[in-house]
Amino acid sequence: MTWIFNRPSDFAKEMVTGFVSAHASQVRQVPGGVVRNTKSRPASVAIVVGGGSGHYPAFCGLVGQGLAHGAAMGNLFASPSSQQICSVARAANNGGGVLLMFGNYAGDVLHFGLACERLRSEGIPCETLAVTDDISSASLAEKEKRRGVAGDLVVFKVAAAAAERGDSLAEVLTIARRANERTRTLGLAFSGCTFPGAEHPLFSVPEGKMGFGMGIHGEPGISELDILSSNALAQMLTRSLLAECPDGVTRPEGARLGVIINGLGAVKYEELFVFWHDVEQQLNAAGVVIADIHIGEFVTSFNMAGMSMTLVWFDDELEALWQAPASTPAFSRGSLLPQEPLDAVQLEQSSVIPIAQGSVESQKAAVKVMAMVDALAQTVITHAEELGQIDAIAGDGDHGIGMERGVIAAQLAAKHALQQGGGVGTLLQCAADAWADEGGGTSGAIWGVILNTLGTALGNSEKPNATSVAQAVSQANAGVMHFGKAKPGDKTLVDVLLPFSQALCAAADKGLSLSQAWHKASEVAQKSAQETSQLLPKIGRARPLAERSLGTPDAGAVSMAMIISAVADCMPVGIDQGSPQEKVCP
């Protein structure tokens, strides 16, 4: 369990505050995370890392000279939102562009991808890289689907050292990709972890067993095995990792390897030293050269009893960059770099975003949209437990909680935008950022995309009608499919959003009013949500347990249909005529 906390909902925020206070000479808090509190080389590339809280020292503990310039920090086990990432990136930017780096999880991919596009639109050169070192999470043929775990440290460190020496953004990205290609991790778990205030572990492992290859959030691994001796574990992990020589390495003999033995929370240093004692013998027998070894906690999972082993196949350049000096709260090596305190004014300029004003007509329409936001928020709150139960069939059961957090934040942000004179577009965009910030995870990212796209398309000048709303929904669907990579039939909310959008377009093309078109399309959404029960999930955390979900609808699809229905209830049928002469769909 987790023993020390106040209100569980405040845990992440209080943790960050305490961390920054304890390491004020190295890091400074900004909206969305932390950045270096020391000056960086002018015009150099900024490395911004991030992910969910609960994995310390990933990610905030790796911010400092020689390593990351900033870390975006989401809620517990939830991705930071695109707005949080952008805030950290703006503060960390040195003028040479930004490389966003994160573990390969659906929510992180969505949010960091959105942030990248937003930063580019602001004139900040930006690239992304998802670390994929966990060999248990997908086959070598599908290595792009692998999770990012303790190998994060290797890829982050190499990229940061390249940035420190003055490489361009393109050069830093190239070397980071090479580090990722040459890094492999395999882990195991003996028991699950427990969130602050939770009565039960987030996941569990049968007594006397270990989850071989289990992920740091409880994702399924390769198999459940009887607990083995340290020597037997060392043989299993070493042989499995050495069998995956990266491209360009024909066999392990003579290769120079870096090794990381990582404890996930409850397995302590003494045990890791015993394990390393056995691993070293295995590596020596294999004929490799042990160029560097780090033992400790680098990516954790609260009180999870587990550990992982990472190998990185060095070439001369990678080894030199890995060995370069660094000084952060949780990782240091080599001689200390000179550290000059950063000017506070530079950071404060990135934190305030003005409220765009709406026309009189758009402000009046925003009042009606606010009523719809209130209605959909109440619907989500009422059904949060039900949505969590649906999600728990094959997922981690947090969909209802995440949706509830997101929608409450969106409701508050929308009210503030309305009070400040925002139109429909501003109201929806503020709600989008707040939902993504607080909801976290994949659903937070997706609803951020949906609402932000709707707000951008509808704007702050005109009164929405059937045509403009249908066009906006069509654009939102395209955005979700682009950033989320989901397709029809993958058992996601796309299986509701796409047919809903198509039905709304068709109704608007026929000249139906907005309310008539929405009600008609809402019926399609309800039917489509139920039909997802016959699908098998092909992406996301439910994919490894796909068979379990057969017969149960997708939680995201159900919540999407609920929200569409709640909005329909706010629309009296027969008003707001559309524009029949303007076709919405080709």
The pLDDT score that the predictor gives to residue 585 is 43
CB contact at 8 A, 94 and 359: no
- Write out pLDDT tens, residues 300-354: 999 999 999 999 999 999 999 999 999 999 999 986 556 677 666 655 655 556 7
- Write out pLDDT tens, residues 402-440: 899 999 999 999 999 999 999 999 999 999 999 988 887
- Write out pLDDT tens, residues 357-370: 899 999 999 999 99
The pLDDT score that the predictor gives to residue 394 is 66
- Write out pLDDT tens, residues 74-87: 989 989 999 999 99
Q: Alpha-carbon distance 338 to 328, whole Å?
A: 13
The pLDDT score that the predictor gives to residue 576 is 45
pTM of the model: 0.79
In terms of C-beta density within 10 A (0-12 exposed, 13-18 middle, 19 or more buried), how is residue 164 classed?
Answer: buried
pLDDT band of residue 581 (cuts 50, 70, 90) is very low
Q: Report the chain's mean pLDDT, rounded to a whole number.
A: 91
The pLDDT score that the predictor gives to residue 396 is 65
Residues contacting 537, CB < 8 A, separation 6+ = 394, 490, 491, 492, 543, 546, 549, 554
Residue at 21: amino acid letter: S
pLDDT band of residue 540 (cuts 50, 70, 90) is low
Please tell me the number of Cα atoms within 13 Å of 266 on its side-chain side. 15
Query: Can you point out the beta strands (E) in 80-182?
Result: 98-103, 126-131
pLDDT band of residue 575 (cuts 50, 70, 90) is very low
- Write out pLDDT tens, residues 136-179: 999 999 999 999 999 999 999 999 999 999 999 999 999 999 99
State the Cα angle at 176 between 165 and 87, rounded to 5°. 80
- Write out pLDDT tens, residues 98-118: 999 999 998 899 999 999 999
The pLDDT score that the predictor gives to residue 253 is 84
pLDDT of 577 above 70: no
- Write out pLDDT tens, residues 127-140: 999 999 999 999 99
In terms of C-beta density within 10 A (0-12 exposed, 13-18 middle, 19 or more buried), how is residue 267 classed?
Answer: buried
Report which secondary-structure segment, H or E, holds 427.
helix 424-439
User: Which of 217, 383, 399, 519 does the annotation list as catalytic?
Assistant: 217
Token pair 């209130």 in the structure block, residue: 374
Residue 69 is a catalytic residue? no
pLDDT of 248 above 90: no
